[in-house]
Structure 1
Amino acid sequence: MPQTNPRWDIFCTVVDNFGDIGVTWRLARQLVAEHSVQVRLWVDDLRAFERLCPEIDIQLAQQWQQGVEVRQWPAEWLPVDAADVVIAAFACQLPAPYMDAMAARAQPPLWLNLDYLSAEDWVVGCHGLPSVKYRHVQKYFFFPGFRQDTGGLLRERGLLERRRKFQQDASAQREFLQGLGVDRAPGRQLISLFAYENAGLASWLDCLASDSTPSHMLVPEGRILGDVERWLGVEGLAAGDVHVRDGLTVQVLPFVRQDQYDLLLWSCDFNAVRGEDSFVRAQWAGRPLLWHIYRQDEDIHLDKLEAFLTLYTKGLTRPASEAISGLWRAWNAGVTMSDHWLATRKHSPELQQHAEAWCLEQALQDDLAAALVQFYVNWI
């Protein structure tokens, strides 16, 4: 590293409750822990942050959490010196006085727009390219991704080894689940469900309830609970509630911090996830998954969905590929899931093997934090 302990500023505006802050909080912690840099994380909504990090004091303008300096992004910006590396997460607009501070530095900072994750072909061509300038300060595009010549995915050092040990330790899994109040009965498939509102959920739950293989669905508190309530015919579901209908047990879990959510994903046989952060973590779990992508205007999110499916299903037999792709498309369209779920269940062994192979393949790339640090080293 050409400079000892370079200073990094990461700016995050909370758009979708937990996705943006989830990514930036993971990134900030990893930069501090593994790359010995100083990080200030500027967040405009500490209440959302508190769900991921309960130690946060939402009243404080400045505090330190796990080695990261957390700063409240104030409505009225107070002057601060610009850092050596400035990351605008997901195209958020930096405060005008801060941009002036960047331009006032003798050595301009490296200014990066950390963009949303996508498997689309054009990402490879745009990654690392110059973007706009502010005075003489140049901004660059930085794209996470699934291919070489992108920024890779967030992955902490030793993550897959910790996951492997946990998944091979039945007592560790049992202890973790019991800590959440979950008793896993032998022979039940365990499914996690973290999703946006979805009209297709009822048909999936109907199918699970009537399946000859019993299922136990774990639902962390979140936006999908309203659809679960309607299917169960109850109101006011809360953490700890358990309902059984035929072969399906539905259990509501508390919203857990990120490290516990990883363990939840590692414990389950199948994971339904949403957005970006949980989507990536489900891939590191090495288990079959179902992605509820964040909806965008004019359905452009569906292009991202198809681009990922094109990459992800390589190596699968045609029937298995059609089954999992059909399930994802139905889920994201909010239509009937039953036939697609039954087809997916038929190919469970192949999809399980493929999920692990995909995980290991992605781990061959540099992780996102390491790629960002290397980009800075090359730039400086």
Structure 2
Amino acid sequence: MASWDIFCSVVDNFGDIGVTWRLARQLAAEHGHQVRLWVDEPAAFAALCPQADAGLARQQVAGVEVCRWAADWQPQALADVVIEAFGCTLPEAQVAAMRAAERQPLWLNLEYLSAEDWVAGCHGLPSPQGQGLQKYFFFPGFVSGTGGVLRERDLLARRRAFQADEAAQRTFLAGLGVVVQGEERLISLFAYENPGLGEWLDALAADPQSTRLLVPRGRILGDLRQWLGETAELEPGFVARRGKLQLQVLPFVSQDDYDCLLWCCDFNAVRGEDSFVRAQWAGRPLLWHIYPQEEGAHWDKLGAFLALYLQGLSPAAAQALQQLWQAWNAGTGMGEAWRAARMHWPEWRERAQSWCAEQASRPDLATALEQFYQNSLS
């Protein structure tokens, strides 16, 4: 058993802690490691993990020791592996202790997920930190030569069983207050603020097929409220209907329940990194709202992913899907883009399933990290 320290600075509420919490659990449960997760905003962690207590400085949850990373952080017993998640800066006292150690730990900078071509060339490269200490760049990714993405060993088996069990899906949705009517199409929506939302909702309201839009509490609710003309905040349980569209606000749910929500839906609009990856494992068509970056750097990342994801589609379907993703991220043109994309629904659904199978054939992120650690010992 090796010991692992994972440091996470919460950015944008849930993305970074979402990834590191899944990783910490998997390293403990599947690889038998002793894992400490250091997080600077315990309240964000508790939102994803309801059994946690945001007021505790240390607690054991799902086999992981979750610790508050406070400003007055003091050196701890050094772990065998130290993960600096997403470029957060380790405490100076931690780095000093690592430099002075007779047996220095493996220091990994876990980077953000990207499909860009240069990622494979930078994955695993060392960065000298003085006095013999090295930091290695570890890049998740979708192709060989990268670190893969998070996937628990039994994830796809659990997903397939759940999607084959209509009674289990109805029971789960009923627990959220959702009772599906007839042949409604289910869509989940978890996104950043987006001025293009109204155009999409107009298209869904005018669509020949009935849609139930399920919206967990989040940043998109302000745009939803504006489209509805509501003056009060939209609380969980709120329901409204416009034409063929019925929308419903859900509570913010745990990670495990969010997985089930994605598995229930025919289409998932997601944001950031964690929900983006989990929507891919759902095997259903998806729409990604990428985190906006300065100088438009996120457009290159979006284009790089689409270059992989759209492979094998007919030219017409690939063009329609690309235009839909671009419209959503640009915040304009969603009505026309949605109407064009839905014409290719069967092909899109088949591609979602084949993409999921392709990614499942690669080592997952936790396994890749484990192998990198084992290689460092030899």
Specify the TM-score bucket, using the shorter chain as the normaliser. Answer: over 0.9
1:58-97 to structure 2, matched below 5 A, reads 58-97=54-93
Q: CA deviation at 1:228?
A: 0.4
* Partner Cα separation in structure 2 for residue 45 and residue 246 of structure 1: 42
Per-residue deviation, residues 237-291 of structure 1 (Å, max 9, x unmatched): 0001110111100000000000100000000000000000000000000000000
* Partner Cα separation in structure 2 for residue 343 and residue 271 of structure 1: 17
**Aligned equivalent of 1:122, options 103, 118, 128:** 118
- Tell me whether 1:199 sits opposite 2:203 in the alignment: no
* Partner Cα separation in structure 2 for residue 319 and residue 229 of structure 1: 34
- 1:16 is matched with 12
In the alignment of these two chains, the number of paired residues is 376
* Partner Cα separation in structure 2 for residue 77 and residue 250 of structure 1: 45
Equivalent residues of 1:81, 1:101 under 8 A apart: no
* Partner Cα separation in structure 2 for residue 246 and residue 151 of structure 1: 45
- Tell me whether 1:251 sits opposite 2:248 in the alignment: yes
Unaligned runs of 5+ in 2: none
- Tell me whether 1:98 sits opposite 2:94 in the alignment: yes
- 2:29 is matched with 33
* Partner Cα separation in structure 2 for residue 229 and residue 363 of structure 1: 38
**Aligned equivalent of 2:182, options 175, 182, 186:** 186
Aligned amino acid, residue 147 of structure 2 = G
* Partner Cα separation in structure 1 for residue 16 and residue 112 of structure 2: 9
Equivalent residues of 1:181, 1:240 under 8 A apart: yes
Instruction: Identify the range of structure 1 (50-59 vs 137-146) with the bigger mean alpha-carbon deviation.
Output: 50-59
- Tell me whether 1:213 sits opposite 2:205 in the alignment: no
Instruction: Identify the range of structure 1 (51-60 vs 257-266) with the bigger mean alpha-carbon deviation.
Output: 51-60
**Aligned equivalent of 1:292, options 278, 289, 296:** 289
**Aligned equivalent of 1:170, options 162, 166, 175:** 166
TM-score normalised to structure 2 length: 0.98
Unaligned runs of 5+ in 1: none
The sequence identity of aligned pairs, in percent, is 62
* Partner Cα separation in structure 2 for residue 356 and residue 266 of structure 1: 12
Instruction: Give 3-state SS (helix, strand or coil) of 2:127's partner.
Output: strand
Instruction: Give 3-state SS (helix, strand or coil) of 1:55's partner.
Output: coil
Alpha-carbon RMSD: 0.7
Instruction: Give 3-state SS (helix, strand or coil) of 1:314's partner.
Output: coil
Per-residue deviation, residues 286-331 of structure 1 (Å, max 9, x unmatched): 0000000000000000100000000000000011101111000000
* Partner Cα separation in structure 2 for residue 105 and residue 86 of structure 1: 13
Aligned amino acid, residue 364 of structure 1 = S
Per-residue deviation, residues 317-366 of structure 1 (Å, max 9, x unmatched): 01110111100000000112011101111000000001000000000000
* Partner Cα separation in structure 2 for residue 212 and residue 59 of structure 1: 49
* Partner Cα separation in structure 2 for residue 175 and residue 54 of structure 1: 20
- 2:302 is matched with 305
Q: CA deviation at 1:192?
A: 0.2
Aligned amino acid, residue 110 of structure 1 = L
- Tell me whether 1:353 sits opposite 2:346 in the alignment: no
- 2:148 is matched with 152
* Partner Cα separation in structure 2 for residue 201 and residue 134 of structure 1: 50
- 2:273 is matched with 276
| Runs of 4+ displaced beyond 6 Å | none
* Partner Cα separation in structure 2 for residue 232 and residue 298 of structure 1: 32
Instruction: Give 3-state SS (helix, strand or coil) of 1:76's partner.
Output: coil
